Amino acid sequence: MILPIVAYGDPVLRKKAKAISADYPNLDALIANMYETMYNALGVGLAAPQIGLPIRVFLVDASPFAEDEDLSDDERKQLKDFKQTFINAKILEEEGDEWAFNEGCLSIPHIREDVFRKPKVKIEFQDENFETHIKEFDGLLARVIQHEYDHIEGILFTDKISTLKKRLIKGKLSNISKGKISIDYKMRFPDMKKKR
């Protein structure tokens, strides 16, 4: 089932999400619905707050990046098969010199900005069977994981840009929260709800 994606401005995107346990109700269905929602919107990642649930769950499927011709064969291979559900994730370490990448977000359509992040990340998480893993990622995979991890911490990529750029996109962000955008996937807009 495709779920509506919560748009910028909804307070759920600003909450620090809570850990869940293995008996969380209908978790398998929730995860399946989140994948369906992400693929339908052509995203490479989706976090539970983006479908209105402040819980520590996010998904990554980086395979669309494997088409990028600027990448090495190794990098492409790594991206091509990467699909992972992250539950109760905790970043243990980030390291290296920050690099810029033009990020976007399904909750913030039609806005893309360069965001600086460290290239390597070490993360502890549970998979959908609640088995614990500690893994290290770099490059684009680290990038997507850091972006989705921010969502469960209540942080958006627009928080990480310069004050000047924030000022420049203020109007666009306000239009998104009011639903004054055209978008070809299902969304839920905070400021429209109030008017009804």
Q: Pick between residue 20 and residue 105 the one whose CB is nearest to Ni ion.
A: 105
Percentages of the chain per state (helix, strand, coil), in multiples of 5? 40, 25, 35
Q: How far is the CB of 104 from Ni ion (least distance, A)?
A: 8
Q: Which three-class secondary structure state does DSSP give residue 103?
A: strand
Q: How far is the CB of 27 from Ni ion (least distance, A)?
A: 21
DSSP run (H or E) holding 82: none
Pairing of strands 5-6, 187-188: parallel
Q: How far is the CB of 147 from Ni ion (least distance, A)?
A: 6
Residues in contact with Ni ion, counted by CB under 5 A, come to a total of: 1
In the bound state, the residue with its beta carbon closest to Ni ion is: 105
What are the angstrom distances between the C-alpha of 64 and each of 8, 20, 42, 155?
Answer: 24, 29, 9, 24
Query: Do 160 and 151 contact (CB within 8 A), yes or no?
Result: no
Q: Pick between residue 82 and residue 151 the one whose CB is nearest to Ni ion.
A: 151
Site for Ni ion in 96-155 (CB under 5 A): 105
Q: Pick between residue 69 and residue 184 the one whose CB is nearest to Ni ion.
A: 184
Q: How far is the CB of 8 from Ni ion (least distance, A)?
A: 10
Q: Which three-class secondary structure state does DSSP give residue 111?
A: coil
Q: Say whether residue 44 binds Ni ion (CB under 5 A).
A: no
Q: Pick between residue 62 and residue 105 the one whose CB is nearest to Ni ion.
A: 105
What are the residue numbers of the active site? 148
Distance CA 163, CA 159 (A): 9
| Residues of the shown chain interacting with Ni ion in the complex, contacts defined by CB under 5 A | 105
